[in-house]
Amino acid sequence: VREGEVDTDELAMYRMMRECLIYLTHLDPSSMVNIMMDILSEFGTNQIAADHRNSESPADWNCGLLSRLCWSVGSISGALPEHDEKMFVVNVIKDLLTLCEVKRGVENKAMVASCLMYVVGQYPRFLKAHWRFLKSVINKLFEFMHEQFPGVKDMATDTFLRICQKCSKKMVVLQPGETSPFVNQVIEAIPRETADLDVLQLCNFYEAMGRMISAIPEIPKQTNLVNQTMADVRSKWQAVIKRASFGDERILAEDQQAIRTISAILRCYERMAVGVGIASGEAIKDIYSDVLLIYKLYSQCVGASRGSSAMFSWENVKLMRKVKRDVLRLVRSFVDSAVAEQEKMKAAHMQLPDDVCVLICSHFIPPMLEPVLVDYNLAPPEGRDPEVLNLLTTMCSRLSSSVVGMLPMMFDQVFESTLGMIKDDFTSFPDHRLAFFQLLSAVNEKCFESLFLLPSQDLRLFVESMVFGIRHEHPTIADIALKLLSKFLTQVMANPNLAQSFFSEYYENLLKQVLLVMTDRHHKSGLRQQVQILAMLISVAANSQSANMPNKEHTMEFLVGVLASSFNTTTRVELEAFVLSLFAKCNGPPQEFTRCVQDFLVGLREFSGTTPEELDTYEQDKRKALNELLQGRTVQNEAAKAEFLQMDKMVPGLVPQ
């Protein structure tokens, strides 16, 4: 199995180069334009000279240099004034078209054409101002979608998607000289234009169509166009389903081509849902009952194949599991995009359709939740798909209060079984591990009050999961868990009645675990958040005014005992001075509390005996901390973080168009 990894160094370098080009363009726009045009003109001059010689040397043609030049041209999009940008883009397009005409060889022509389409896609402001040119570009992209040269169809669909993301409004209104909006013309040509595309390219195409349709303000019109757009895909779906309706359903599990077709269709629907949101609901609902039947069928077939190699081939089982994953992604993408679109419409004070959350929770979630969760719980650890956890995360974060009634089933079927997979070490099932803690964060953020309506064992499971998370050595998991615990404690402390019952049971264990993690050298990356959580827990006891809340004196003794049992090289006087300082500074400026903890951690690294002079110093620190504790300190909030995005927006072109 090959897995691609993101080259972060390369991406960072390209980001810096782009910013550098933008700043240089602002300093001297004409020089930047002239330099780029001179290099591009040199390509054409060299090619014409090569044609006269009837030979071509490597010095005449450098495709890598042309690619880098076109990337640079696209990088300064938005940095030039609109009029200058128009002249610049027109000249670049003319030179690239000339180069494409004079260049010999299909491979070289495809290379120049891909550079041309990339440049065009980077300048949406120019395209939106010139409708006929925009239409010509899209029609040319449709031609490239039939080109068999490697990479051309990928370039065409990627550029089509980018243009639809930026220029969709121009395509859904009637333009001068047209008999109908361009979107209608594209829909009519879908069967013809998509005939030569593979699955990934089809996904890009249908997402682009969704982006285009989403520019229409009326949801009913969007829904109608989505149904028309998906007509060709829906007919293929019906043809596959009919094969099973007239015979044995097992044919859908035995025929690998049928499984691949089902997967491709589901992925097209999923990308349409990502692109258009709410309006895709009716199209998905038309096939939803069949989708659930296929999910249940494939769950049964995959389950029956465990321990029996003769039931289905390994390739069939792998394809069926992929279809199940596609079903989960389809529902997740629809929930995410539909609710997000509804929130945008509310913010813009637009006319809203029926409540999307109610629609989803009444028609989409109930029929699929139980079979999905039960299948996840009954499957062996290796057969559980992390996409189930991702779906639940999206449901909790987007539907919030609408899924409160589903929490008990989620805990019963998912939480304990997933925790059992990952609790024995910090490395196995990395995808499940990350998705699990993201799910915990979503539940805490959107369904917090419902957690305390669950049985006590479920709440304990939730708290134990947070504690297990902060002990992770992987920075990503530990960071998620620390943020989760911090938000959880903040919400608990905001409710006095809730805080009393919660801290009476969990306070000492949480305090101990946070302290142990903070003093562990393997978790240094999360020190800032660890200190923040420790300050919150200390302040609970320091500000306690109820007999049911943690007691200050008892908590001090408890902390000294935990530290003394963990670090034999420290004296009790040192520990008492440190604990007193914690209580004295927990309500003061966060910087002082952090500095106190950092000084203590540095002291732990020093392995040496304690002299009488040092003991006197610790006694002085102890008395000073006790005085500060008695005097009290005022709470000061941290300054707000700088708004870097607003600063970037002040530089035209720095934020991509």
**pLDDT tens readout for residues 365-397:** 889 989 999 999 998 888 899 999 999 999 999
What is the reported pLDDT for 68?
Answer: 92
Superfamily holding 497-657: Leucine-rich Repeat Variant (1.25.10.10)
CA 24 → CA 28, 37, 51, distances in Å? 6, 16, 36
The whole-number average pLDDT for the span 608-612 is 46
Tell me the per-residue pLDDT of 488-510, one tens digit each, with 9 for 90 and over: 999 999 988 888 889 989 999 99
Backbone torsions φ then ψ of 140, nearest 5 degrees: -65, -35
Do 354-494 and 497-657 come out as alike in CATH topology? yes
User: pLDDT value at position 638?
Assistant: 36
What is d(CA 618, CA 573) in angstroms, rounded to the nearest whole number?
7
pLDDT tier for residue 610 given thresholds of 50, 70 and 90: very low
Which candidate, 539, 545, 537, 623, places its Cα nearest to that of 580? Answer: 623
- 177 conformational bin, left if phi > 0, alpha if psi -120 to 50, beta if neither: left
CA-closest candidate to residue 484, choices 469, 473, 494: 469
Q: Please give the pLDDT value at position 288.
A: 93
Q: Report the CATH number of the 354-494 domain.
A: 1.25.10.10
User: Which residue, among 391, 229, 367, has the nearest Cα to 290 in the 3D structure?
Assistant: 367
Helix H or strand E segment including 215: none
Bin 407: left if φ > 0, else alpha if -120 < ψ < 50, else beta.
alpha
pLDDT band at residue 242 using 50, 70 and 90 as cut-offs: confident
Q: How far apart are the first and last CA of the chain?
A: 37
Mean pLDDT of 550-563: 88
Report whether 546 contacts 500 (CB < 8 A).
Answer: yes
User: Residues 347-356: contacts with CB within 8 Å, 24+ apart?
Assistant: 350/217, 353/219, 353/278, 356/278, 356/281
Average pLDDT, the chain: 85
pLDDT band at 615 (very low <50, low <70, confident <90, very high): very low
Q: What is the pLDDT of residue 612?
A: 47
pLDDT of residue 405: 83
Give 72-87 pLDDT, tens digit per residue: 999 999 899 999 999 9
pLDDT at 547 over 80: no
- pLDDT tier at 312 (50, 70, 90 boundaries)? confident
Boundaries of every domain in the chain: 217-348, 354-494, 497-657
Percent of the chain with pLDDT over 70: 87
